[in-house]
Amino acid sequence: MSIKKIAVLRGDYIGPEIMKAGLAVLTAATKESDFSYQIIDYPFGGAAIDQTGTPLPETTIQGCQAADAILLSAIGGPKWDQAPKRPEAGLLEIRNKLGLFANIRPTKINPILAQRSPIKPEVIAGTDFVIVRELTSGIYFGQPRSQTADAALDTSTYTAEEIERIIRVGFQMSQHRKQHVTIVDKANVLATSKLWRQVAEKVSRDYPTVTLDYCYVDAAAMKIISQPTFFDVIITANLFGDILSDEASVLTGSLGTIPSMSSGSTGPSLYEPIHGSAPDIAGKGVADPISMIQSIEMMLRESFQENQLADQIAQAVQKTIAAKVLPPDLGGTASTQVVTEQIIKNLKG
Ligand code: NAD
Ligand code: IPM
Ligand code: MN
């Protein structure tokens, strides 16, 4: 079997802490398996600004392009907030250069953690949806953009082609789920959203068994917390998906557990927690590593079809949660290291 290349971007603040935890779990889970891989570290984000002056050095983008999968923890933070090119610009650039237009962000309730959610258990019971977020266009990338002391301009653009390819990803996913697609938009105001609806109508004809509906983003923000079981596959634009996925994470008990996958039509996919570098808790050893560990589980499943290894990791995480070895964001007192060690112990059955 060939040796898979995994590009690792350790990032900033809690980034290196959770990446260390994730890789320790990967090492332990794969020790007696046939899965062979090589970890290759590249500078990225604030760490890369410090080393090279830019958040996405050429060697990093080339290394990522040549990899079979990419693991990223999180970047950014106050240290670089005034930098001419912030770490976040590197994140947008890597998504764009690798063509990672489809970002999958799952929200699934773990019954053991249900009481951690600020939403009533009877409201969240059975919640299981994915947000399919468009990741390389919309207001994040539209031109022109400008800023002076008196005025600033951002442009929201979408081509029909960009809309169609992300909507197809969502419909495709729904076929292995509850066959229910909700397009979240602002079609009562925005021209881009009106085009999203036209394209969705067209694409839906190819998926006659899938129920398609639409929800304005303001109402969707309400419905995600008042009736989350309504949703199966939410397909939405870049900015809406960013905001709604952080909101949805609250249903599950903590932002610190949610993984994501970003893919293009070809080339390696990138796996990363949906959260940021959490500067407020960095260096304290208390970051929740579950988002990173579940991102690695997702990588094993989606990029390498190593379902058995992925299942083992999922079960070990589940056992650890059931045993109440929990980090502070989930109401426990266990450190990143203790949680990680417990997950590794639980891999053994
Ligand atoms: P954040 O997601 O870093 O943190 C929000 C809150 O959630 C904080 O209280 C934090 O402590 C908590 N949190 C997040 N992850 C956690 C974890 N694993 N365990 C425990 N608690 C966790 O958002 P922010 O504070 O708004 O942003 C901080 C920096 O991260 C900014 O520079 C932002 O641009 C960047 N950011 C990067 C990414 C990324 O790399 N993909 C994503 C979002 C934000
Ligand atoms: C995310 C982050 C990024 C985004 C930022 C850091 C640019 O919030 O991955 O959710 O807005 O996409
Ligand atoms: Mn975000």
Q: What is the ipTM of this complex?
A: 0.99
Place 1 in a pLDDT band, splitting at 50, 70 and 90: low
Q: Is the backbone peptide bond immediately before 78 cis, with ω within 30 degrees of 0?
A: no
Token pair of 166 as six digits: 């992300």
**115-128, pLDDT tens digit by residue?**
899 999 999 999 99
Predicted pLDDT at 308? 97
pLDDT of residue 326: 98
- The string of pLDDT tens digits covering residues 307-341 is 999 999 999 999 999 999 999 999 999 999 999 99
Q: Do 157 and 192 touch, CB atoms closer than 8 A?
A: yes
In percent, the amount of the chain with pLDDT more than 90 equals 99
The answer to whether the CB of 76 is under 6 A from ligand 2 is yes
CA–centroid distance, residue 197 to ligand 1 (Å): 32
Q: Are residues 117 and 203 in the same domain?
A: yes
Question: Do residues 138 and 216 share a domain?
Answer: yes
Residue 275 Cβ < 6 Å to ligand 1: yes
Final residue of a domain: which of 257, 283, 307?
Answer: 257
- CA angle (81 as vertex; 75, 86 as ends), nearest 5: 55
Q: Average per-residue pLDDT in the chain? A: 97
Q: Which alpha helices (H) appear in the chain, and where do they start and end?
A: 14-30, 46-52, 58-65, 87-97, 121-124, 160-174, 191-204, 217-226, 238-251, 290-302, 307-322, 336-347
Same domain, yes or no, for 150 and 61?
no
66 with 177, same domain?
A: no
> pLDDT tens for residues 153-199?
999 999 999 999 999 999 999 999 999 999 999 999 999 999 999 99
Residue 248: closest CA among 106, 38, 77, 50: 106
Instruction: Give the mean pLDDT of 101-122.
Output: 95
Residue 103 placed within a domain = no
The Cα diameter of the chain in Å comes to 62
For residue range 16-42, list pLDDT tens digits in order.
999 999 999 999 999 999 999 999 999
CB proximity list for 280: less than 8 A, separation 6 or greater: none
Q: Are residues 6 and 44 in the same domain?
A: yes
pLDDT band at 348; cut points 50, 70, 90: confident
Does residue 55 have a pLDDT over 80? yes
pLDDT score, position 117: 94
Task: Give the pair of three-digit tokens for residue 131.
Answer: 């947000």
In one-letter notation, the amino acid at residue 139 is: I
Residue 103 Cα: closest atom of ligand 2:
9
Q: What pLDDT, on a 0 to 100 scale, did the predictor assign at position 200?
A: 98
Report the CATH number at residue 47.
3.40.718.10
Residue 140 structural domain: 109-257
Q: How many angstroms separate the CA atoms of 272 and 223, rounded?
A: 26
Q: In this model, does residue 349 exceed pLDDT 90?
A: no
How many CB atoms are located within 10 Å of the residue 251 CB? Answer: 22
Same domain for 59 and 142?
no
Residue 138 has pLDDT above 90, yes or no: yes
Of 13, 37, 42, 140, the catalytic one is 140
Confirm whether 154 is a catalytic residue: no
In a domain, 15, yes or no: yes
Instruction: From 211, 228, 257, give the residue that closes a domain.
Output: 257
Digit-coded pLDDT (tens) for 215-226: 999 999 999 999
| Ligand 1 binding pocket mutation candidate from 13, 277, 337 (most atoms within 8 A of CB) | 277
Looking at the structure of the chain, the number of domains it has is: 2
User: Is residue 342 located within the same domain as residue 286?
Assistant: yes
- Mean pLDDT of the 49-66 span: 98
> Final residue of a domain: which of 206, 223, 257?
257
Q: Which atom of ligand 2 is nearest to the CA of 76?
A: 6
